[in-house]
Each structure stands twice: as structure tokens, then as C-alpha cells.
């Protein structure tokens, strides 16, 4: 069902909270590195005139694969090349049905677009498969493209080396671990490190656009992929074709809101899950959201004191449980989460449901690519000292009693990163472009709905479709047929849905 309503009226509590005050300026560090404007240099002719050689992919012959050379530094293309890995699934349609190529990015940052496309391709409608070649390029530094090498170092986990439930993260230990990671990445990938940011990835998209033969970029981006798409539109406004940005990231936020807003978003998602659970018989976390919060806090504290052991090598800590709950809320996987929490509430028994969720859970913040790309963007990379992060812990707990401490631990992520952002987040400019379609989910925990609203307002041509739903992103998700129809209609015909469209 579709309706037109005022956006904040649909989620008054979250919208009101997201307009709350920011921390004092004294609690935020200036971005590392000198701010400079994003500009577009002339395309390096050697790269834009190369001829891709497409071959059946070795591990998936129904797809075609190729590699392309891209400048390490677009400002100085003579300084050397990197390799971009690209894959495509050819259109099933006739020449008259074919529109062009649809470039896809699943988000992250740091996620493989090639892996993501192979996981989603079968979900596209027959009309979409006939109209477009589906194309994915692993971003520079990621996957099969020239990768970042940080040796054996890995980013510090969000939780630190000691329990934080009922207490606080070990900010000092986290800071030390992140400094070690930054040093290792600089030693092993110091030449690549400054060139894995979003503007360079957007220029890579334009290179791929040209080499697949499209005059304009047709694009589908989810989550961080919306930030990448918006950056492309900023750099190449006249080359924007049909662009869908689902689960919008507001490119004007700073590193503080980058994690404070999702902390609150996951709180909203948890309370929605808890309210649904309370209406079902045998809910393992009680009969109200308030009771559910107390039950989860008690479980996390108990597991931090005494991890639950399943077999010789499996131990479930409070931090593990929190990560699994967050992943289940993001998908969303409410049925599986009820089963898993039931296992943990029970004094004994197996943890099959919990282990299934754990196997599906991917912790993006524990990925070097996530850190490297985020730290090159003032909108994504938080730069705080341990003392500053600890001072902000009460604000995070107010925003999210269950998940605030977890997210506050991410505030020192970029404090030691050797390369800083190219410009302040607020410097983002949105020139006129062809019409852009933004999709926002009301109770999206990872990219809160207010971010999609803000992204829509930035572009004069953009229009927002709202899904009154749960989980992260909407297109091709279970139950989102209304969103799917609106997106497909736009990608196939260029027609935007009516202003104020809300899908239920």
C-alpha cells in the first residue's frame, strides 16, 4: 500500500532525537590532514582508451570477468597504476530491450561488490535482467582489486580487551591496538593508503562506465554505496543516469554522528523487535521493551563474567552476543533472534540458533578496508582521543542504553590513521543532476531514516521513497514489493514515483 505523509510524523521519536545537540566543539578533534576541495582532473587518456578483455569467470562461468588499469593517483596518472577487478552478468534481453549497464555497490565500505552482486543477481526481476548488464567493480583496496596489505594486523574490535557491559570500553587499550594497526598499514601499503578514499573510488566508477560503453552512469548503491554514488554525482553531475541510493548516508555528518546516530537506530530497532516479541507466546525477553532491555543487559553482563562454552573451541561472550543481536536487527532476522535469545536465557541447552546467526554475522568494523576508507572521509571517520571518547560515553548511553557503550568504542578508530580526510564533511556540494531516487527505511538501524531524508534534500533532483519497515535497506528485501516496483519503474523508464510515496 502507498501513502503520502510527513516523514517525521512517521517516526517522531527518532526524528526528534536526531536533532539533539552535538558535543561541544572542544570535544572533537580537527580532521587529520589539510582540507582541500574535491576537483575533477582531466581523464587520463591511456586509461579511458584501454580495451577490456572479458572472459568467463573461472569460479562462476555464467559471469564475465576482466581487469582494468586505473591510476593510483588520478591527479598524477603518470605515478603508476592499480588493478580494478570487474565482473558482469550480461543482459538477457534483445538489443531493443537493453538500456545499458547497471553498476552495483553493496556498501561497507570495504565490502566486495563482486561477491555482493553474485549474492543478489537472482533477485532482480526479469524485466531488469533484460534491460541491464549487471556490473560490479571491487573498490580499490578491496577484494580482487589491488588490495590493502596491513600484514598480520587487524583493526581492534569494538569491545576492547576487557568486558564493558555495565561498565565501559577499555578506550586506552583500543587506542593502542588501533595505533598498531595504523602503523602496520602504513608500513605495508603506504603508497596505496592515501588513494583508497571515496573520491578515487567514484572516479573508478566513471572509468568503468566509459569502458562498458555508457554515456551516463546507471547505478544502484546500498548503504555506504549511497555515499559513493552521491560523491560520483558531485564529481560528474552531467554523467548521472538513473541512480538509486538505498539506505542513504548523509555526507554532511561528522565522525561523532557517524556512530551516535546508528547507536540510536539500533535502539529503535531493538525496541521494535522487543514489542513484537512481547506479543508472541513464550517471548524469552519479557513482556515489554523495557523488560527486554534489562534481560539483554543481564545476559551480556553474565556472559562477560562467565562466557558460555559450546564444545572445546566455542565460547560466547557478552561482546559476541551484542554483535549477533546487532547483525540480526540489521538483516532483520527476528524469528532467529527470538530462538537465539531463548537459548541464552535457558540455564542449559544447545546454542544452535545463536551459532547460525553468528555464522551469518559479518562485523564490518573489524575490516581494514572499512577503516581505511572511513578514515579518508570526514563524514565517516571519527577522530577522538581515549579521554574524549570516554567523556562522550554518557551521551551514547542516553542515545542507546543497550548499544551505546559498544558504539562509543568506535570513536577512536581514526585517531592514529596516517592519512586524513581530504575535506570537511560539511563541504559536500550537490550540483543539479538527472533525477535521483533515494530509498529510506523508517526503522533502518545502520543508516537511520533521517540520513536518507538529508541526502534527498541535498540534490535538487532527488526524490525519496519511504519504506515503513525494519532492517537495513529496502530494495529486493522480503516484503518490499512496493519499493521494488517503484525502483524498477524508475530504472526501466526514468520515471520517479510521486512525491511523498510511502510503502507499507
Q: What is residue 422's predicted lDDT score, i.e. its pLDDT?
A: 79
Q: What is residue 475's predicted lDDT score, i.e. its pLDDT?
A: 98
- What one-character-per-residue DSSP string does 37-74 give? ----PPP-HHHHT-----EE-SS-TTSEEEEEEEES-T
Mean pLDDT across 274-285: 96
Q: What is residue 161's predicted lDDT score, i.e. its pLDDT?
A: 44
Q: What is residue 154's predicted lDDT score, i.e. its pLDDT?
A: 62
Question: pLDDT band for position 353 (50/70/90)?
Answer: confident
Q: Can you read off the three cell numbers belonging to residue 231?
A: 560523491
Question: pLDDT band for position 33 (50/70/90)?
Answer: very low
Q: Are residues 202 and 224 in contact, defined by beta-carbon separation less than 8 angstroms?
A: no
45-138+197-251+428-503: CATH number? 3.40.50.1820
∠ CA 423-153-315 to the nearest 5 degrees? 115
Q: How do beta strands 240-246 and 436-443 pair? A: parallel
Task: Give yes or no: 101 in active site.
Answer: no
Q: Give the active site residue among 101, 189, 223, 374.
A: 223
Mean pLDDT across 353-375: 74
Q: Where are the domains of the chain?
A: 45-138+197-251+428-503, 145-194+253-420
C-alpha to C-alpha distances, 132 to 26, 95, 101, 164, 436, nearest whole angstrom: 50, 11, 5, 48, 18
On the question of pLDDT at 366 being above 90, the answer is no
Q: What is residue 361's predicted lDDT score, i.e. its pLDDT?
A: 64
pTM attached to this predicted model: 0.90
Task: Give yes or no: 408 in active site.
Answer: no
Task: Give yes or no: 400 in active site.
Answer: no
Q: How far apart are CA 333 and CA 4, in angstroms?
A: 28
On the question of pLDDT at 25 being above 50, the answer is no
Q: How far apart are CA 220 and CA 442, in angstroms?
A: 20
Q: Give the active site residue among 472, 480, 484, 488.
A: 472
On the question of pLDDT at 491 being above 90, the answer is yes
**Burial annotation 134-153 (CB, 10 A radius, 16+ → b, else e):** bbbbbbbbbbbbbbbebeeb
Q: Can you read off the three cell numbers belonging to residue 152?
A: 598480520
- pLDDT tens for each residue of 50-103: 999 999 999 999 999 999 999 999 999 999 999 999 999 999 999 999 999 999
Q: Are residues 215 and 242 in contact, defined by beta-carbon separation less than 8 angstroms?
A: no
Q: What is residue 167's predicted lDDT score, i.e. its pLDDT?
A: 58
Question: Which residues 6+ apart lie within 8 Å of 489 measured at CB?
Answer: 495, 497
On the question of pLDDT at 206 being above 90, the answer is yes
- pLDDT tens for each residue of 237-264: 999 999 999 999 999 999 999 999 999 9
Q: What is residue 350's predicted lDDT score, i.e. its pLDDT?
A: 72
Q: Give the active site residue among 170, 204, 367, 444.
A: 444
Q: What is residue 363's predicted lDDT score, i.e. its pLDDT?
A: 43
Q: What is residue 12's predicted lDDT score, i.e. its pLDDT?
A: 36
Q: Can you read off the three cell numbers belonging to residue 153?
A: 594486523
Q: What is residue 356's predicted lDDT score, i.e. its pLDDT?
A: 82
Amino acid at each position: 500500500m502507498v501513502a503520502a505523509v510527513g516523514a517525521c510524523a512517521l517516526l517522531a521519536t527518532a526524528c526528534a532525537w536526531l536533532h539533539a545537540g552535538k558535543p561541544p566543539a572542544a570535544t572533537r578533534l580537527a580532521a587529520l590532514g589539510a582540507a582541500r576541495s574535491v576537483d575533477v582532473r582531466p581523464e587520463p587518456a591511456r586509461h579511458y582508451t584501454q580495451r577490456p578483455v572479458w572472459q568467463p569467470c573461472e569460479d562462476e562461468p555464467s559471469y564475465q570477468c576482466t581487469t582494468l588499469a586505473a591510476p593510483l593517483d588520478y591527479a598524477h596518472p603518470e605515478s603508476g597504476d592499480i588493478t580494478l577487478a570487474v565482473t558482469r552478468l550480461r543482459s538477457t534481453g534483445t538489443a531493443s530491450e537493453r538500456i545499458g549497464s547497471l553498476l552495483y555497490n553493496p556498501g561497507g565500505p570495504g565490502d566486495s561488490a563482486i561477491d555482493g552482486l553474485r549474492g543478489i543477481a537472482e533477485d532482480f526481476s526479469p524485466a531488469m535482467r533484460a534491460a541491464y548488464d549487471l556490473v560490479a567493480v571491487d573498490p580499490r583496496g578491496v577484494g580482487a582489486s589491488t588490495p590493502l596489505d596491513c600484514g598480520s594486523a587487524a583493526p581492534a574490535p569494538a569491545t576492547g580487551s576487557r568486558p564493558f557491559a555495565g561498565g565501559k570500553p577499555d578506550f586506552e587499550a583500543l587506542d593502542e591496538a588501533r595505533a598498531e594497526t595504523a602503523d602496520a598499514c602504513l608500513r605495508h601499503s603506504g603508497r596505496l593508503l592515501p588513494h583508497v578514499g571515496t573520491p578515487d573510488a567514484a572516479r573508478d566508477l566513471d572509468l568503468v562506465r566509459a569502458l562498458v560503453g555508457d554515456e551516463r552512469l546507471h547505478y544502484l548503491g546500498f548503504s555506504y554505496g549511497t555515499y559513493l554514488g552521491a560523491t560520483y554525482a558531485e564529481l560528474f553531475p552531467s554523467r548521472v543516469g538513473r541512480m538509486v541510493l538505498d539506505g542513504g548516508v548523509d555526507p554532511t555528518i561528522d565522525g561523532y554522528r557517524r556512530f551516535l546516530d546508528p547507536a540510536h537506530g539500533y535502539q529503535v530497532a531493538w525496541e521494535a523487535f522487543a514489542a513484537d516479541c512481547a506479543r508472541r507466546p513464550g517471548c524469552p525477553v519479557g513482556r515489554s521493551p523495557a523488560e527486554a532491555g534489562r534481560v539483554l543487559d543481564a545476559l551480556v553482563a553474565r556472559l562477560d563474567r562467565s562466557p558460555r562454552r559450546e564444545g572445546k573451541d566455542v565460547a560466547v561472550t557478552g561482546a559476541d552476543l551484542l554483535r549477533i543481536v546487532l547483525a540480526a536487527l540489521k538483516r532483520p532476522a527476528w524469528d532467529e533472534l527470538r530462538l537465539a535469545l531463548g537459548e541464552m536465557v535457558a540455564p542449559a541447552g544447545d546454542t544452535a540458533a545463536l551459532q547460525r546467526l553468528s555464522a551469518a554475522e559479518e562485523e564490518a568494523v573489524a575490516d581494514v578496508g572499512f577503516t581505511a576508507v572511513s578514515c579518508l572521509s570526514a563524514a565517516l571517520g571519527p577522530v577522538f582521543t581515549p579521554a574524549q571518547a570516554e567523556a562522550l560515553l554518557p551521551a551514547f548511553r542516553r542515545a542507546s542504553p543497550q548499544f551505546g557503550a559498544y558504539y562509543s568504542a568506535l570513536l577512536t578508530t581514526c585517531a592514529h590513521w596516517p592519512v586524513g580526510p581530504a575535506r570537511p564533511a560539511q563541504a559536500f556540494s550537490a550540483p543539479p543532476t538527472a533525477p535521483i531516487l533515494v530509498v529510506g527505511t523508517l526503522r533502518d538501524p545502520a543508516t537511520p531514516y533521517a540520513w536518507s531524508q538529508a541526502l534527498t534534500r541535498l540534490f535538487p533532483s532527488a526524490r525519496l521513497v519511504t519504506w515503513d519497515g525494519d532492517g537495513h535497506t529496502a530494495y529486493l528485501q522480503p516484503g518490499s514489493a512496493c519499493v521494488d516496483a517503484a525502483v524498477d519503474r524508475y530504472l526501466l523508464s526514468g520515471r520517479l514515483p510521486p512525491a511523498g510515496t510511502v510503502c507499507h
